[in-house]
């Protein structure tokens, strides 16, 4: 091992340790030793201290023992330019630095200045940890770049951030260079910051880098099952599983160097743009430990190489970047150039199989006005027809492939997609439009992605895009007929007829705990995946998000619980959901991601429920609009009294069967009533509720807009719910 400079790391560690002692003394003086100390809404105490030493710090006074630990780790301060042949003392100094930084940041939560301030987010809470941390484990995020300091200019900052995003990396930001921070540079360029875009500003001081280390520690504790205090396994887990590295931009101070030494313990190397002593030989990290003097346009690639990361990027020749990192990106009204569908204009998306002669691979046609012919804030109708051919393609696969349009489009930066079938909604951002993004690029994107992910069944793909209103509505009629045919394929099939349901975890990229359990009588809540579709999807990709679920033993037939399904849900929800009922919205209801076509909510005083569909924009009797309700119900949580579901499910024999099914419905918007009318009346007749009469006894926005009005209406109408047991 060649010689390294120890002075910077060791001296920096002493400076930070002193800072920690000072702020701790101040905090204890102000609040007392018994004052509680924590990172808000997190488990695992001080995660770095806890994972490495096993000590559970709960009160300010507990930090005194940590200070002793820091002192015992700290080597004596050394003269400048001291050479040492070993990494050992520098690594110890680094670990002491991390403990000290954790004390400093935690004390800030107690006595201020509050780490959460403006763009600065401070510690990630446990909800974020579960949502995001899992991505490091399942591979949807290959790792994170901890960026310290600032780029020489805003443009360079944006370039570096984009490069990380294109590779699906998270960017954790801390520290400043001469008062300028990387995060503020991005904000200045109008780049959207936050967990959704994977660009996470922790804090403007270098000590805030501890949140990145803490995040890695918590991932190891939560998902790696590493025991607190088992520091060897902890550090190895990080080295082998969390592909992180530090990019140091600007003058590397002693404090930066000490922090870099700290995370070398985790196996995270540092890549710097400046001239600092390198630590090249391998030992702790997979390859080099500190690499310096790297030009900005190579720094991300170099970091990836040094960290030994394998990243697959889809190169699609369109003017915006494409990566799963953009999946969570929102485009607000003020940021959008134009939009399509979403009840503002007619729209649909339809994938169909054609003969091989009818498809010219890669052909993209756009008929009608394009992005550049609408004003900012404008809207257009949109019909997307994807035609595929392939020797192994089957008609049964159509809905499965069609549902991928959602994922593929969201992966393009500046493109946002919501919904499915004929309730889709698309936005294109101003930045994308300025970069020259046009409708044909949606075609190019879909062509590339379908080939990349479904090459086993698809040989050719062509895309037709329509924006002319009459053409869109005409074709939409054809598509709607196909959607109805697809839904009808299952008619008459019951859950009892099959021994196997299917899972769908496609939405875990948005809602990591969410699993749709799809049975013949309960389609996925997005309405786009039926039991048959899941079966087909499993056939296409046996290791994909749709797995067969043998039911196992029935635990409770009324609410619909089976032991093997519960076990599967427990495992795939990351241990969060213990039991799940297929037929109840009260007892262990199914979780909801966010794609539901409808939400059912209990209206307690009426003894019944209301159902609101996504298209209905007005206030509902439960006091919330669909959008607010969606925030409450979605995200992968179990919310007794609320479920997200598809429209088709309303007329299913298993619709909240445990609570009495459609007999409980006391309110629906007229547009929803109208849409499901035919099948609903049939269902009401089967149940001897009186067909059309029963529909008329259900209130809607023309007769009731508050819960009291609903109660008055149904009492007067003699709705049968009044004779049922209360729901709770």
The DSSP bridge partners found for residue 638 are none
Interface region with ligand SF4, contact rule CB under 6 A, candidates 109-117, 270-278, 523-531, 698-706: 523-531
541 token code pair: 């990709």
Pair type for strands 243-249 and 270-272: parallel
Of 319 and 544, nearer to ligand SF4 (C-beta) is: 544
Chain Cα centroid distance, residue 257: 33
Interface region with Zn ion, contact rule CB under 5 A, candidates 456-464, 595-603, 619-627, 671-679: 595-603
Distance of closest approach, residue 525 Cβ to Zn ion, in angstroms = 7
**DSSP letter assigned to residue 176:** -
User: Which residues ranging from 399 to 438 are in contact with ligand SF4 (CB under 6 A)?
Assistant: 403
Pair type for strands 516-518 and 548-550: unpaired
Of 10 and 506, nearer to ligand SF4 (C-beta) is: 506
Out of Zn ion, ligand SF4, none, what residue 28 binds, judged by CB under 5 to 8 A for its kind, is none
Mark 492-511 with x for binding to ligand SF4 (rule: CB under 6 A) and - for no binding. ------------x-xx----
Distance of closest approach, residue 525 Cβ to ligand SF4, in angstroms = 5
500 token code pair: 């196997």
Query: Number of helices and strands (H, E) in the chain?
Result: 22, 25
Interface size with Zn ion, residues (CB under 5 A): 3
Options 110, 382, 593, 609; binder of ligand SF4; rule CB under 6 A: 593
User: Reduced to 3 states, what is the DSSP secondary structure of residue 707?
Assistant: helix
Of 267 and 399, nearer to Zn ion (C-beta) is: 399
Is 507 a residue that touches Zn ion (CB under 5 A)? Answer: yes
Instruction: Measure the CA–CA gap between 644 and 396, rounded to whole angstroms.
Output: 25
Length of the chain: 728
Interface region with Zn ion, contact rule CB under 5 A, candidates 565-573, 589-597, 625-633, 668-676: 589-597
Distance of closest approach, residue 507 Cβ to ligand SF4, in angstroms = 3
**DSSP letter assigned to residue 699:** B
Of 272 and 525, nearer to ligand SF4 (C-beta) is: 525
Out of Zn ion, ligand SF4, none, what residue 565 binds, judged by CB under 5 to 8 A for its kind, is none
Distance of closest approach, residue 487 Cβ to ligand SF4, in angstroms = 14
Using N-to-C axis directions, what is the helix angle for 254-264 and 210-222, rounded to 10°?
10
Counting beta carbons within 10 angstroms of the beta carbon of residue 293, is it exposed (0 to 12), middle (13 to 18) or buried (19 or more)? exposed
Mark 546-585 with x for binding to ligand SF4 (rule: CB under 6 A) and - for no binding. ----------------------------------------
For residue 106, give the nearest of 166, 170, 171, 58 by alpha carbon: 58
Options 525, 590, 629, 657; binder of ligand SF4; rule CB under 6 A: 525
Mark 448-487 with x for binding to ligand SF4 (rule: CB under 6 A) and - for no binding. ----------------------------------------
Alpha carbon of 359 to those of 73, 355, 459, 466: distances in Å?
68, 7, 10, 17
Of 181 and 505, nearer to Zn ion (C-beta) is: 505
Neighbouring CB atoms inside 10 A of 439's CB total 25
Instruction: Measure the CA–CA gap between 599 and 614, rounded to whole angstroms.
Output: 8
Options 595, 602, 704, 711; binder of ligand SF4; rule CB under 6 A: 595
Options 74, 95, 157, 593; binder of Zn ion; rule CB under 5 A: 593
Of 55 and 135, nearer to ligand SF4 (C-beta) is: 135
Distance of closest approach, residue 403 Cβ to ligand SF4, in angstroms = 6
For residue 157, give the nearest of 180, 138, 140 by alpha carbon: 180
Out of Zn ion, ligand SF4, none, what residue 695 binds, judged by CB under 5 to 8 A for its kind, is none
Of 39 and 501, nearer to ligand SF4 (C-beta) is: 501
Out of ligand SF4, Zn ion, none, what residue 37 binds, judged by CB under 5 to 8 A for its kind, is none
Options 110, 235, 246, 595; binder of Zn ion; rule CB under 5 A: 595
Options 6, 174, 526, 681; binder of ligand SF4; rule CB under 6 A: 526
SS3 content of the chain, % helix, strand, coil (to 5): 45, 20, 40
Is 528 a residue that touches ligand SF4 (CB under 6 A)? Answer: yes
Locate all alpha helices (DSSP H) within 489-540, ordered by sequence: 531-540
Instruction: Measure the CA–CA gap between 451 and 446, rounded to whole angstroms.
Output: 8
396 token code pair: 């049964």
For residue 315, give the nearest of 138, 144, 164, 167 by alpha carbon: 167
Out of ligand SF4, Zn ion, none, what residue 528 binds, judged by CB under 5 to 8 A for its kind, is ligand SF4
- DSSP secondary structure letters along 604-658: GGGTEEEEEETT--SB-TTS-BHHHHHHHH-SSB--TTEEEE-HHHHTSTTTTGG
Interface region with Zn ion, contact rule CB under 5 A, candidates 109-117, 171-179, 187-195, 499-507: 499-507
Interface region with ligand SF4, contact rule CB under 6 A, candidates 134-142, 208-216, 289-297, 526-534: 526-534
For residue 508, give the nearest of 546, 542, 454, 543 by alpha carbon: 546
Mark 346-385 with x for binding to ligand SF4 (rule: CB under 6 A) and - for no binding. ----------------------------------------
Is 676 a residue that touches Zn ion (CB under 5 A)? Answer: no
Out of ligand SF4, Zn ion, none, what residue 405 binds, judged by CB under 5 to 8 A for its kind, is none
Distance of closest approach, residue 709 Cβ to Zn ion, in angstroms = 32
Of 220 and 418, nearer to ligand SF4 (C-beta) is: 418
Distance of closest approach, residue 504 Cβ to ligand SF4, in angstroms = 3
238 token code pair: 């990080």
Interface size with ligand SF4, residues (CB under 6 A): 12
Is 518 a residue that touches Zn ion (CB under 5 A)? Answer: no
Distance of closest approach, residue 507 Cβ to Zn ion, in angstroms = 3
Instruction: Measure the CA–CA gap between 523 and 333, rounded to whole angstroms.
Output: 32
Residue that has been written with the tokens 């959207």 in this structure? 192
Q: What are phi and psi of 271, to 5 degrees?
A: -120, 125
Assess contact for 398 and 389: CB atoms under 8 A: no
For residue 547, give the nearest of 578, 485, 504, 515 by alpha carbon: 504
Is 537 a residue that touches ligand SF4 (CB under 6 A)? Answer: no
User: Reduced to 3 states, what is the DSSP secondary structure of residue 438?
Assistant: coil
Of 566 and 572, nearer to ligand SF4 (C-beta) is: 572
Instruction: Measure the CA–CA gap between 224 and 210, rounded to whole angstroms.
Output: 20
Residues 6+ apart with CB under 8 A from 100: 13, 16, 17, 19, 20, 70
625 token code pair: 């609009």
Cα separation of the two ends of the chain:
69
Interface region with ligand SF4, contact rule CB under 6 A, candidates 182-190, 213-221, 520-528, 680-688: 520-528
Instruction: Measure the CA–CA gap between 625 and 618, rounded to whole angstroms.
Output: 6
Distance of closest approach, residue 652 Cβ to ligand SF4, in angstroms = 15
Assess contact for 688 and 710: CB atoms under 8 A: no
Out of Zn ion, ligand SF4, none, what residue 218 binds, judged by CB under 5 to 8 A for its kind, is none
Options 524, 589, 607, 634; binder of ligand SF4; rule CB under 6 A: 524
The CA-based diameter of the chain, rounded to the nearest angstrom, is 92
Catalog residues that contact ligand SF4 under the rule CB under 6 A.
403, 504, 506-507, 516, 524-526, 528-529, 593, 595
Catalog residues that contact Zn ion under the rule CB under 5 A.
507, 593, 595
């Amino acid at each position: 091992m060649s010689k390294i400079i120890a002075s910077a790391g060791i001296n920096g560690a002493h400076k930070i340790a002193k800072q920690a002692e000072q702020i701790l003394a101040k905090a204890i003086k102000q609040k007392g030793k018994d004052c509680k100390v924590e990172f808000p809404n997190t488990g695992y105490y001080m995660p770095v201290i806890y994972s490495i030493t096993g000590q559970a710090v709960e009160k300010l006074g507990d930090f005194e023992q940590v200070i002793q630990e820091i002192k015992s780790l700290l080597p004596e301060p050394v003269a400048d330019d001291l050479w040492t042949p070993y990494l050992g003392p520098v690594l110890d100094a680094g670990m002491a630095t991390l403990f000290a930084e954790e004390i400093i940041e935690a004390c800030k939560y107690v006595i201020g200045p509050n780490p959460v301030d403006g763009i600065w987010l401070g510690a990630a809470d446990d909800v974020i940890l579960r949502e995001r941390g899992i991505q490091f484990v399942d591979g949807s995020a290959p790792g994170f770049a901890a960026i310290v300091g600032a780029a020489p200019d805003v443009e360079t900052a944006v370039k570096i951030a984009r490069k990380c995003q294109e590779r699906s990396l998270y960017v954790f930001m801390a520290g400043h260079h001469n008062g300028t921070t990387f995060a503020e540079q991005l904000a200045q360029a109008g780049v959207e910051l936050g967990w959704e875009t994977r660009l996470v500003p922790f804090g403007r001081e270098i000590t805030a880098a501890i949140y990145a280390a803490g995040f890695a520690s918590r991932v190891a504790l939560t998902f790696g099952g590493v025991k607190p205090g088992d520091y060897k396994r902890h550090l190895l887990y990080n080295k082998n599983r969390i592909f992180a590295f530090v990019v140091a931009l600007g003058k590397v101070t002693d404090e930066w160097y000490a922090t870099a030494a700290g995370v070398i313990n985790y196996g995270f190397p540092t890549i710097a743009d400046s001239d600092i002593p390198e630590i090249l030989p391998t030992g702790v990290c997979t390859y080099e430990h500190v690499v310096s003097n790297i030009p900005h346009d190579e720094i991300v690639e170099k970091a990836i190489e040094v960290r030994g990361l394998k990243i697959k990027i889809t190169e699609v020749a369109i003017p915006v970047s494409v990566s799963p990192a953009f999946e969570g990106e929102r485009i607000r009204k003020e940021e959008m150039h134009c939009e399509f569908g979403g009840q503002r204009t007619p729209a649909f998306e339809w994938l169909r199989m054609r003969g091989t002669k009818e498809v010219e691979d890669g052909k993209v046609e756009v008929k009608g006005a394009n992005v550049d012919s609408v004003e900012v804030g404008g809207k257009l109708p949109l019909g997307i027809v994807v035609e595929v051919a392939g020797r192994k393609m089957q008609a049964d696969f159509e809905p499965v492939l069609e549902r991928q349009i959602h994922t593929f489009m969201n992966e393009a930066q500046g493109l946002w997609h919501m919904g499915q079938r004929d309730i889709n909604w698309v936005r294109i951002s101003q930045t994308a439009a300025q970069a020259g993004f046009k409708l044909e690029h949606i075609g190019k994107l879909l062509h590339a992605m379908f080939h990349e992910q479904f090459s086993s069944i698809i040989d050719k793909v062509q895309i037709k895009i329509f924006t002319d209103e009459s053409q869109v509505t005409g074709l939409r009629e054809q598509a709607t007929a196909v959607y109805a045919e697809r839904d009808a394929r299952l008619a008459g099939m019951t859950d009892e007829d099959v021994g196997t349901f299917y899972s769908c975890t496609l939405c875990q990229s948005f809602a990591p705990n969410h699993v749709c359990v799809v049975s013949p009588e309960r389609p996925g809540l997005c309405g786009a995946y039926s039991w048959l579709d899941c079966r087909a999807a499993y056939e296409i990709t046996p290791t994909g998000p749709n797995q067969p679920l043998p039911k196992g033993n029935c635990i409770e037939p009324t609410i619909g619980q089976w032991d093997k399904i519960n076990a599967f849900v427990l495992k795939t929800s990351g241990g969060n959901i213990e039991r799940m009922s297929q037929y109840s919205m009260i007892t262990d209801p199914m979780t909801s991601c966010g794609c539901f076509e409808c939400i059912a909510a209990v209206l307690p005083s009426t003894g019944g429920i209301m159902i609101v569909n996504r298209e209905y924009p007005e206030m509902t009797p439960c006091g919330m609009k669909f959008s607010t309700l969606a925030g409450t119900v979605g995200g992968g949580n179990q919310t007794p009294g609320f479920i997200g579901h598809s429209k088709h499910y309303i007329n299913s024999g298993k619709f909240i069967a445990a609570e009495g099914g459609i007999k409980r419905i006391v309110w629906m918007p007229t547009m929803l009533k109208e849409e499901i009318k035919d099948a609903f009346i049939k269902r009401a007749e089967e149940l001897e509720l009186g067909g059309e009469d029963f529909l008329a006894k259900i209130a809607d926005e023309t007769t009731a807009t508050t819960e009291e009005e609903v109660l008055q209406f149904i009492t007067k109408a003699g709705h049968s719910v009044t004779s049922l047991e209360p729901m709770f």
